[in-house]
Structure 1
Amino acid sequence: SGARLFMRVCYHCHTLEEHGINKYGPRLHGVFGRKAGQANGFIFSEAHARSGIIWTEKTLFEYLEDPKKYIPGTKKPFHGLKGAQERSDIIAYLKEAS
């Protein structure tokens, strides 16, 4: 279900391949353990770059609920996923696919 959800919600802006392109959002390969605002070849909002967040399962779970609340000033046009199971499914898929 995480793969289907990713294709429906995330794929239009993000890729998962190691050498994938950055789209409207950065490629997500290697996101776990990476500092927010630090993906090669992508220009982030100042809010992301200065957030100091390290992407873990916990921080992604909280971020995916309401990105604009989690990182005030982000330019991300995604409104979030309110369902805890949906967020968990996407995170599990991200771990497996990237």
Structure 2
Amino acid sequence: MIKHIFASAAAIAMLSTAAFAAGDAEKGEKVFKKCKACHKVGDDAKNGVGPILNGVVDRHAAAVEDFKYSTAMVAAGEDGLTWTHENIAEYLKKPRDFIPGNKMTFPGLRKEDDIENVIAYLETFPANEE
């Protein structure tokens, strides 16, 4: 019985690790160069073509003040979308498919490692405190 419980716990741990595989923030910084034309991070970040991404992980969608979001993104936020790790990953694959009608013209990232690394990089930037 104990062996079965341990085996089950080990299997759950392995699945959880796979689902939340930690990316490499340093590699993510390099991939984020593709995002920098529109999005900013860091202490001096300001909204640009896209909203600042400080604190984006686990933030409610369309929540950055003073940014004019598309109607589609506002609706997604009103419907309760939160930028969880999983939602960011799906969005970064094909933004227009994840939220049809959003303004982001970026076609998406093809490599899972790039997506995980960008998310790890974004996690290093907490929300700005006012």
Tell whether the 8 Å contact from 1:36 to 1:54 is kept in structure 2 after alignment: yes
Percent of pairs with identical residues = 35
After the TM superposition, which segments of 4 or more aligned residues of structure 1 sit over 2 Å from their partners?
Answer: none
Within-5 A mapping of 1:9-88: 9-51=34-76, 52-88=80-116
Structure 2 residue runs without a partner (length 5+):
1-26
Q: Which has the higher relative contact order, 1 or 2, with Cα contacts under 8 A spaced 6 or more apart?
A: 2
What TM-score comes out, normalization by structure 1 length?
0.92
Bigger CA radius of gyration: 2
What TM-score comes out, normalization by structure 2 length?
0.70
In 2, the alpha carbon distance for the partners of 1:45 and 1:18 equals 25
Tell whether the 8 Å contact from 1:35 to 1:55 is kept in structure 2 after alignment: yes
RMSD: 1.2
Please name the residue that 1:6 is paired with.
Answer: 32
Which of the pair is proportionally richer in helix? 2
Matched letter for residue 121 of structure 2: Y
- Report the count of equivalent residues: 97
In 2, the alpha carbon distance for the partners of 1:94 and 1:81 equals 15
